Structure formats: structure tokens, C-alpha cells
Amino acid sequence: MIPDALKNLVRRIVDPITNAFIAMKITANIMTFIGLMLSIISGLFYALGYFIFGSIILIIAGISDTFDGQIARKTNTVSKFGAFFDSTIDRFNEFAVLAGIMYFYLSNNYSIIYVFAILFAIMFSIMISYIRARAEGLGISIKRGLMTRVERVLFIIIISFLPLKIFNYMILLFVLLNFITVIERMIRVKKHT
């Protein structure tokens, strides 16, 4: 899990850039939408087999995801809808990238195992987020875990620089780690209830 101290350091580094976006009248929701467009472009690169380019665009999309929250806080426009919109778009962002990888496997006649691995990765990714949201509805805060959204994105970025054969094995590991996170969060909710 990414330490809070590191997250705070990143926020301090991006602070001057955030101020520039605010000066250009770019709102938090616009930045969230830019992140979505970047994730779709990243997914297209993955679909075409350009994993390194896809990961570079994914890094930029991840950075833009940092800016939207910063912009909202600095302009005092934090809202429930903004949080909802950001969280919803995050699911689309993950889907765009994973769907791109799945398309790559399908169009290049890879084993059906990898196609199903991506389907399970999408399902577990959704479940990790759903468990958190449902737990919060019960008054339980479940923000941590082995593979939160940040770790999932970082995992995909890192393995994208590996040879394809190793990338394929890492995708299987990715699915396993996501499954473990689902179980981990369910156990935490059980303990709190």
C-alpha cells in the first residue's frame, strides 16, 4: 500500500501545477474527464499491443487524477457529486485499460485463460470498490487493502515494461492479488459487524 507520507509529498510537488490549472479555469470535473480520455487512449494503445506507450499515457492519466482532487480542495469546490463523479469515472478508467488488454489477447489468439483472467480482473476491481462503498454505507471505513486502485494502476504500469511472456504471467498474479483483496476487505467488514 502507498504510504500517506508519499501521497502528501506528491501533492506538494504538483501544487504549483495545480495553481496553473486553476488560473486556466480548469475545474476538478474537467480534469476528471481529461483523465477518462487519457485512460481510453491508454486502453487503445494496450489493445494495439503498444504496452509501453499505453503505460506512459496511464501514468499521465494517474497524475491528472491527483490534480482533480487538488483543484477541488484549492478552489473550495469539494462536493458530494464531485466525489461521486470522480469515483465513478475511476471505474471507467480501469475498465478502459483492462478492456484494451483483453482485446489484445483476443485479437492475437492468446489462450482463453488470459481473456478470462482479464474478465476476473475487471470483476474483482469492481468488487474491491463496491465492498468499500457498501461498507461505508454501513458506517465502516475500508480504505486500505493489498490492491487498492493506486496499487492496481501501478502494477499494470510496472509490468507493461516487462517482456510479453512475463507480462502474461504477471496478469495472472494481478488477478490473484485482486481476489485476495476482495477476501481481505470482506473479512474486515465481517470483523466490524
pLDDT tens digits, 2-31:
566 776 776 677 788 888 888 898 888 899
Is pLDDT larger for residue 137 or for residue 8?
137
Torsion angle of C-alpha atoms 5, 10, 16, 18, degrees rounded to 10: -110
Q: Is a pLDDT exceeding 70 seen at residue 56?
A: yes
Task: Report the distance separating Cα 193 and Cα 189, nearest Å.
Answer: 6
Domain boundaries along the sequence of the chain: 4-192
Q: Buried b vs exposed e over 8-35: b needs ≥16 C-beta within 10 Å?
A: eeeeeeeeeebeebbeeebbbbebbebb
4-192: CATH class? mainly alpha
- The mean pLDDT of the chain is 89
Q: Which pLDDT value is given to residue 3?
A: 65
